[in-house]
Amino acid sequence: MSAIPRLKHFTDLNGITSEQFWGLLRLAKRLKDERQQRGANEPILANKSLAMIFQKPSLRTRVSFEMGMQHLGGYGFYLSPQEVGLGSRETAPDVARVLSGYVDGIMARVFDHQHILDMAAWGSVPVINGLSDFSHPCQALTDIFTAWEHLGDLADRTMVYVGDGDNNVATSLIMAAGKVGMNVRIVAPVGYTPSHEVLGAGEGEVAITDDLDGVIGADILYTDVWTSMGQEEQREQRLQIFPPYQVNAELLARTQNKEVLVMHCLPAHRGEEITDDVADGSASVLFPQAHNRLHAQKAVLAHLLGNVPLD
């Protein structure tokens, strides 16, 4: 069997093959199992460091990357929006070229996706997208990992994403689900559906509807905030449009699947896109999903910074 080609960066999912994606999922499982069974991972990133640039707030991404580096014997450190001034104080290519002389990898959370691509193009160390306005690949890798843990075989399972179908999380889920043979349905108001560019990048079937009956038969019901970071000035307008798409007990029943799983990338605006009873109910896997950010990203770090092969 030939080796799975190495990834250089993790900027997005559209350049990653299905076998590379599965390789990351399997590596995440090995690292999670290793830590659970032995209490610690091998220090495969000893003497390696990760610069973590944030232009937007974060809980999960910041903490899971920092702890992920520590679990693997390396060091991750936070850089605030003010101190770096990515794209304002200094260009993204210059930031990447400078950091490449100090660290072994860069993880960045940005507004403009082009900043991620520029850093990958100009730096000489791996670049990881920790969320951009366009995509959130670490989240989607985690989400598929979580689905795999809970459902087993993913082929022909149906992921229904309800809400803003044009945001970064929906975009990455569309790209990710096709790689593992899942069907994707986007249930979203007119005007908030995925762009043609995103649909072209997905590998599987993607159905789009504004009809809530689109949730029927869902194996996973997924939602995210109606107003993403950076869209705050549209909040009032979005609050007029999205309420019919709230994930609540009625919508859960409408899936006609008693075993449906509810997912949300978090943070949640409880009482808007999801109700408390559903977020905290028996169908919810919100917190195992959040915890899996750690394990999925450790696979990305081990592969990109530690040269651990995908198999």
Active-site residues, by number, are: 109, 136, 139, 224, 265, 293
Site stretch for ligand NVA (CB under 6 A), options 47-55, 80-88, 223-231, 289-297: 223-231
Nearer CB in complex with ligand CP: 142/275 = 142
Pick from ligand NVA, ligand CP, none: which does 73 bind, CB < 5 to 8 A by kind?
none
Pick from ligand NVA, ligand CP, none: which does 168 bind, CB < 5 to 8 A by kind?
ligand NVA
Record the tokens describing residue 268, joined without a space: 């949640």
Residue 168 interacts with ligand NVA (CB under 6 A)? yes
Site stretch for ligand NVA (CB under 6 A), options 3-11, 90-98, 162-170, 271-279: 162-170
Among 142, 228, 289, 292, binds ligand NVA (CB under 6 A): 228
DSSP 8-state secondary structure symbol assigned to residue 154: -
Residue 166 interacts with ligand NVA (CB under 6 A)? no
Q: How far is the CB of 131 from ligand CP (least distance, A)?
A: 6
Residue 296 interacts with ligand CP (CB under 6 A)? no
Q: How far is the CB of 294 from ligand CP (least distance, A)?
A: 12
Record the tokens describing residue 152, joined without a space: 């087993």
250 to 289: interface string for ligand NVA, x by CB under 6 A: ---------------x------------------------
Q: How far is the CB of 227 from ligand NVA (least distance, A)?
A: 8
Alpha carbon distances (Å) from 86 to 75, 81, 125, 131: 22, 7, 17, 15
- Tell me the residue type at 68: G
For 5, how many CA atoms within 13 A lie in the half-sphere containing its CB? 7
Q: How far apart are the first and last CA of the chain?
A: 10
For the segment 26-85, give every residue that binds ligand CP (CB under 6 A): 58-61
Residue 266 interacts with ligand CP (CB under 6 A)? yes
- Given a contact cutoff of 8 angstroms between Cβ atoms, the answer to whether 167 and 139 are in contact is no
CA separation for the pair 54, 74 (Å, rounded): 19
Starting at the earlier edge strand, list the strands of the sheet with 49-54: 75-79, 49-54, 105-109, 127-129
Among 139, 146, 228, 255, binds ligand CP (CB under 6 A): 139
Residue 225 interacts with ligand NVA (CB under 6 A)? yes
CA separation for the pair 182, 157 (Å, rounded): 5
CA separation for the pair 284, 102 (Å, rounded): 42
DSSP 8-state secondary structure symbol assigned to residue 111: S
Q: Where on the phi/psi map is residue 135: left (φ > 0), alpha (ψ -120 to 50), or beta?
A: beta
Q: How far is the CB of 56 from ligand CP (least distance, A)?
A: 7
Q: Where on the phi/psi map is residue 91: left (φ > 0), alpha (ψ -120 to 50), or beta?
A: beta
CA separation for the pair 238, 78 (Å, rounded): 32
Nearer CB in complex with ligand NVA: 100/168 = 168
CA separation for the pair 27, 24 (Å, rounded): 5
Nearer CB in complex with ligand CP: 102/287 = 287
Instruction: Name the residues that contact ligand NVA, by CB under 6 A.
Output: 131, 167-169, 224-225, 228-229, 265
Q: Return residues touching ligand CP (CB under 6 A).
A: 58-61, 131, 139, 265-267
